[in-house]
Structure 1
Amino acid sequence: MSSQNTKVKYASSYKEQITARGLIIGSVGAIILTMSSMFVALKLSSLPWPIMFVALVSMFALKACGTTNINEINVTHTAMSAGAMVAGGLAFTLPGIWMLNPDAEIKPLTLIIITLGGVILGLIFTSLIRKYFVVTKELPYPMGQAAAEALIIGDAGGKKAVMLFASMGVGAIFTVLRDSLGKIPATFMNSKMVSYGSYGGIWLSPMLISVGYIIGPLFIGIWFVGAIIGDFGILIGGQYFGIWDAATASSVKASLGIGLMVGTGIGIIIKGILPKAKEIFGAMFKKDSIGDSIVHLRWAPIVMMVIAFLFTILANMGIVASIITILGIWLATAMSAQCVGQSGINPMEIFGIIVLIAAKAVSSIGQTEAFLVAAAVAVACGLVGDVMNDFKAGYILNTDPKAQWIAEAVGSIIGAFVSVAVLLIIVNAYGPHVFGTEIFPAAQASAVAAMVGGISHMPAFIIGLVLAVILYCVNFPVMTLGLGVYLPFYLSATAFIGGMLRLFADKVFPEFEKKGTGSIIASGLLGGEAVVGVILALIVAIRILV
C-alpha cells in the first residue's frame, strides 16, 4: 500500500500535523471513549479496537472545521484512542481485588499512581521500541494498516473509496444483526469439543476474518497449529487417552500458552533488543530519535526511579516488587508489541498475570498489591498495543512519530484519570460485590484472580518458556503459536479462515491482491465491525449511566 496518492493532502510541516484543534478534538474523544471502554470491558468482558472508529471520527471532525490534512487526522485519532486501552488495562485486572475480598479498601491516590505509572512506563518503552518493531521488523499491525488504508482511500475518493465504505457498511450491518438484534448467532460451537472443555467452533466475525486475511497465511497457519496443539492435543487428546482429567488438561493448556508467550518476550529481548540496546535505549541518556524525529528521553531514568519510589511507598508494593514491575513492563511491552503486530490481539491481562507471579515469587507482597502489579503492567501493555497500531498507520502515512507520541501522551494521561474515576464511581454506586456478577462479569479480572496463587502447571510453563526462547532465536513466529495454544479455539479458527482466503486469493487470483482489492475489502469489513462495536459500547455505557 503506497501513501503517495496524489489526491491525498499530506502535511508539509510538523506544525500542520499536531495542532491545538486536533488535540482538543482528540482529548474530548479520549474522555468519551475511555468512559465507554471501562463500562464495556466490565460488562461484556471484551474491548473492540478503537482505531478505525477514531480515525473516521477524526477525519469527519477535522474536515468539518475546514482545511485539514491526513497527518493531522492521524495525530488527532492517536490522541483520541489512547484512553480506551488504559481503561481496558484496569478493567481486566483490578476488579479481581473485590472478587476475592469485597471489603478491600484502595485509596484513589493509589489507583492514580498505579495507572499513571503504567501509562508513563508504556510511553517510555513504546517510544524506544517503535523503530525496531515498526520499521526494522516491519510487523504487519493489521489494525494500523486498516486505519491507514481507510484514511488514504477515504480522503482520496474514487472507486476504491466506494469499495472501502461499501464493505465497511456490510461489516457494520452484519455486526448490528449479530450483536444488537440477535438475528445472527455469534458462534457455531462443536458440542463434542465442548464436552472436553474446548471452545470448539468458529466466531462469526468479519473483523477477525479480515485480521487473518491482512496478516496472511504464514502467521495465521502457525497460530492455528497452536490451537490444534492446545485443544485437539492437550484438552481432547489428553482426556480421550486418559493422560489427565479435565482440570489438569485446562491448566496444562493455559500454562503452556503463557510459557510460550513469556519465552517469546525473553527471546525478543535476547535476540532483538539487547544486541541493539545502545541504539534503542540511548535516548534515555542523550538526545536521540524515535523514527525520524527527535524526542528527548534523558528524563526517563529519573522518572522510572520516581515511579519505583511511588510504587514502593504509596502503593505499598515494596522495593523488590516495584523493581520487578518496572522490569516486567519492559519485557511485557516488547511481548505486547510483537503480539499485536503479528496477530492484532493484545492479551494485556495475561502479561499482567506473568509479572505479578514473578513479583510474588521474589517478594512478600500481599494479595491486593499483586493485583496492583498486574494493573500497572496491563495498562502499559494496553497502551502499547494502541500506540504501535497508531505508529504503523503513521509510518504508512509519513506522519512525524514525535507528533504522534505527544498526542498519545495527552490522550493516555487523560485516560488514566478518567478510567480511575469511572471505576470508583462504579464501585461506589453498585458496591464492590458487583464484580463477577451478571451486572459486571469482568471475566478477565476473574482469570487474574484465579492466577494470583501462581502458575497452575509449572512443568508445562517451563517447557513452553524454554521452547519459545529457542524457536524465537531461530526466527520461528512462536508468539502466534503461543496465542493459538492459549486462546479459545473459535478465535483461532475464525482467523484461520481469513488466512486461507488470502492464500486462495494469492494463488488463484494474483491480480486481485496486486491491485489491493482484497486488502481494501478486508479493511472495510474490519472497520465496519470495529466502528459498530465502539458505537454499541457507547450505547451500553449511556444506558448504565442513565
Structure 2
Amino acid sequence: MSNDNYPEITIKAVFLGIILSMVLAGANAYLGLFAGMTVSASIPAAVISMGILSLFKKSNILENNIVQTAASAGESLAAGVIFTIPALVLLGYWETFDYLEVAKIAAIGGVIGVLFTVPLRRALIITANLKYPEGVATAEVLKAGNAAKEGEKEDGTGGLVTIGITSLAGGIMKVCQQGFGMWSSEMAGASVIGKSIFGLGTDLSPALISVGYIVGRNIGILVVGGGLISWLFAIPIYSAIVGFEGNTLDAAWDIWNSKIRYLGVGAMVVGGVWSLIKLFKPLIEGIKASINAVKNQDSNKDIPLEERDMPINYVGIALIALLVPVFLLYLDIIGSVGIAALLAIVMMVFGFLFSAVAAYMAGVVGSSNNPVSGVTIATILFTSLFLLALLGTGSGVGAASAIMVGAVVCCAAAIGGDNLQDLKSGHILGATPWKQQIMQIIGTL
C-alpha cells in the first residue's frame, strides 16, 4: 500500500504526538508500578489521534500513523524506567528520584534503542516477515477509520463497528470481573504429591484473548507449553530436591518467581541470539543496502519511499556521539575513567544485542507481552559478573552501576520492540520508515 502524496510529519501531528507521548507515558508508568506490567499504547494512541485529527479538514492516515508512532514511544520508555530506576532507591543509592537523572537515562536509552533497530527493519519485517501483532492491529484500526472517513461504508464502517463491539464486550467483561466481582479473572491452585508441588492456573483477560487471536495458534501453543513445563515439571522437580515451606500455592509462586522464571530468561536470550544468528545474513545485507544508498545518493531516488530508512552513516555518527553521555553517566557513579569507558562499551554491546532480541520477541508475542524484564535481568547479571571481576566484593557502587547499565539497556530494549511494531504498521500503510524513526526519537525525548 503506497500513499506517496500524503504528508506525514506535520506541525499538528508532531504537537499531538508529543502530548499523547507524555500522557500515555504517565498512564503506563502508573499501570506498571501498580500492576507490575505495561501494555502497548499504539492502538489507543491511534484511536485518540483519529478522533482529534478528524476535527481538521486536512488530515490523513499517515499523519495518524506518525502520531501513534511518537505517542507509543512514551509508554514504552515508561516501561524501561519503572522496571529499573526504583531499584536505585531500594538499594539506598538514591534517597529520592532525581528527575534530571531519570530523564537523562531514559533519553539516552531510548535514542540508542531507536538507532540500534534501524538496520533490523528489513531483516525482521521483510525477510523474516514476523507478525508484530500490535503493529498489524494498529494498521487495521487506522485503515478502518480512514475508510469510514472517505465514505467506504462497507469496509470502514464495518471495521469500526467490529472494533466498537469488541471494545464494548471487553469493557463489560472487565467491569463484571473487577467492578461487580461476578467471577474472578484468575484461578490458581497447587497441591503436594509426594515431596513435589504441582500447580496450575489460568487468567481470563480480553486483552490476552485478542493478542492470542493475532499471534496465532503456533505461538499460543508455545506460550502455553512454556507455562506447562514450568508448573508441571520444573517446579515439582525443584521443590522435591530443595523442599519448601508455608502455604503450597504461595511456595509454588515463590519458587517460580525466584528460580524457575530464569529458565525462561535463559531460553529467551539463547533463542533471541540464535534467531539473530539465522538472520545475520539478511541483517548484513540490510546494512550494506543502507551504506550503498548513502554512497549512491542519485540511485536512492529510485528506492520507494516506504523502503527508505534513516541513513546508516547518520546512525553510526549518532551512536558514536552517544558514547560520550553514556561514559559521563557511568563516570559519575564509578569514579574511574577506565572502568566507566569499559561500562560504556559493555552497555553498547548489550544494548544492541538485547534491543535486537526485544525487537524479535515483539514480532513474535507482541510489545505488551515482550519480556523486557527478562532482558534487563540478563543484562544486570552479566554486568554484575563483569563488575565483580573488576571491583571485587567490597565496592559500594558495583550494584548501582549494574542497575544503571540495566536501566539504559532496558529503555533501549523497550523502545526497540516498540519501534519495530510501529514500523510494521507503517510498512502495511505505506509510510516512510525514516520519518517514523525520527518521530520515535521525538517521542522518546
Task: Tell me the TM-score normalised to structure 2 length.
Answer: 0.82
Paired position in structure 2 for 1:380: 412
> What do you get for the CA RMSD once the two structures are aligned?
2.8
Deviation at 1:103, TM superposition (A): 5.3
Pick one of 408, 429, 432 that aligns with 2:440: 408
Pick one of 251, 262, 265 that aligns with 1:255: 262
Q: Contact 1:119/1:379 (CA < 8 Å) preserved in 2?
A: yes
Deviation at 1:107, TM superposition (A): 5.5
Deviation at 1:55, TM superposition (A): 0.7
Q: Show CA shifts across 1:187-216 (max 9, x none).
A: 1222438x9777731112111112112211
SS in structure 2 opposite 1:243? helix
The separation in 2 between residues aligned to 1:402 and 1:377, in whole angstroms, is 23
Deviation at 1:90, TM superposition (A): 0.5
Q: Does 2:86 correspond to 1:87?
A: no
The separation in 1 between residues aligned to 2:280 and 2:91, in whole angstroms, is 38
Gap regions ≥5 residues in structure 1: 4-9, 414-546
The separation in 1 between residues aligned to 2:342 and 2:274, in whole angstroms, is 24
Q: Contact 1:113/1:315 (CA < 8 Å) preserved in 2?
A: no
1:45-124 to 2 correspondences below 5 Å: 45-101=36-92, 104=95, 108-124=99-115
Structure 1 residues 294 and 139, CA, compared in 2 at 3 Å: closer, same or farther?
Answer: closer
Q: Show CA shifts across 1:248-280 (max 9, x none).
A: 954552232111111123213322135632533
Pick one of 14, 19, 26 that aligns with 1:23: 14
1:336-415 to 2 correspondences below 5 Å: 336-344=358-366, 345-363=369-387, 364=391, 366-413=398-445
Q: How many aligned positions are there?
A: 402
Paired position in structure 2 for 1:269: 276
Paired position in structure 2 for 1:190: 189
Q: Contact 1:110/1:315 (CA < 8 Å) preserved in 2?
A: no
Deviation at 1:369, TM superposition (A): 1.4
Q: Contact 2:287/2:312 (CA < 8 Å) preserved in 1?
A: no
The separation in 2 between residues aligned to 1:33 and 1:294, in whole angstroms, is 26
Q: Contact 2:272/2:361 (CA < 8 Å) preserved in 1?
A: no
Q: Contact 1:352/1:373 (CA < 8 Å) preserved in 2?
A: no
Paired position in structure 2 for 1:159: 158
User: Bigger relative contact order, structure 1 or 2, given CA contacts below 8 A and separation 6+?
Assistant: 1
Report the residue type matching 1:226 in the other structure: G
Paired position in structure 2 for 1:444: none
Structure 1 residues 300 and 149, CA, compared in 2 at 3 Å: closer, same or farther?
Answer: closer
Report the residue type matching 1:359 in the other structure: T
Deviation at 1:183, TM superposition (A): 4.2
Paired position in structure 1 for 2:297: none
SS in structure 1 opposite 2:118? helix
Q: Contact 1:89/1:382 (CA < 8 Å) preserved in 2?
A: yes
Paired position in structure 1 for 2:351: 329
Paired position in structure 2 for 1:314: 329
Paired position in structure 2 for 1:243: 241
SS in structure 2 opposite 1:139? coil
Deviation at 1:222, TM superposition (A): 2.0
Structure 1 residues 101 and 253, CA, compared in 2 at 3 Å: closer, same or farther?
Answer: same
Q: Contact 1:19/1:72 (CA < 8 Å) preserved in 2?
A: yes
The separation in 2 between residues aligned to 1:370 and 1:400, in whole angstroms, is 37
Paired position in structure 2 for 1:447: none
Report the residue type matching 1:22 in the other structure: A
Paired position in structure 2 for 1:170: 169
SS in structure 2 opposite 1:153? helix
Q: Contact 1:324/1:358 (CA < 8 Å) preserved in 2?
A: no
The separation in 2 between residues aligned to 1:179 and 1:405, in whole angstroms, is 38
Q: Contact 2:115/2:319 (CA < 8 Å) preserved in 1?
A: no
Structure 1 residues 211 and 315, CA, compared in 2 at 3 Å: closer, same or farther?
Answer: same
Question: Among the aligned pairs, what percent are the same residue?
Answer: 26
Paired position in structure 1 for 2:310: 295
Structure 1 residues 274 and 360, CA, compared in 2 at 3 Å: closer, same or farther?
Answer: farther
Q: Contact 2:310/2:433 (CA < 8 Å) preserved in 1?
A: no
The separation in 2 between residues aligned to 1:185 and 1:281, in whole angstroms, is 53
